[in-house]
């Protein structure tokens, strides 16, 4: 049961972050200006929450999976 709950939370989290990345990309793609280095920096900064979540959730998921 715990594994199903973890997979559900993972699917929701991935959906939210993919929507965020697509919104950032779509916002930058709609601009009539030429490609700017700032756009790349914004996309890279959009990846920071992925890293934070992975670093925070990793030990908890490991403990849940190890406990059975």
- What does the domain layout of the chain look like in residue ranges? 2-66
- Does the structure show a pLDDT above 80 at 13? yes
> Which two tokens mark 42?
């914004």
Over residues 15-64, the pLDDT tens digits come to 988 898 888 778 766 666 666 667 677 778 878 888 888 888 888 888 88
SS3 category, 7: helix
What is this structure's pTM? 0.58
DSSP state, residue 32: S
pLDDT score, position 45: 82
> Between vectors from CA 11 to CA 61 and to CA 41, what angle results, nearest 5°?
95
d(CA 58, CA 47): 17
d(CA 67, CA 58): 14
């Amino acid at each position: 049961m715990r594994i199903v709950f973890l997979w559900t939370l993972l699917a929701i989290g991935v959906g939210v972050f993919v929507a965020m990345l697509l919104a950032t990309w779509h916002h930058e793609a709609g601009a009539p200006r030429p490609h700017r280095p700032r756009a790349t920096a914004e996309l890279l900064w959009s990846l920071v929450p992925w890293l934070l979540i992975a670093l925070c959730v990793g030990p908890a998921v490991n403990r849940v999976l190890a406990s059975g």
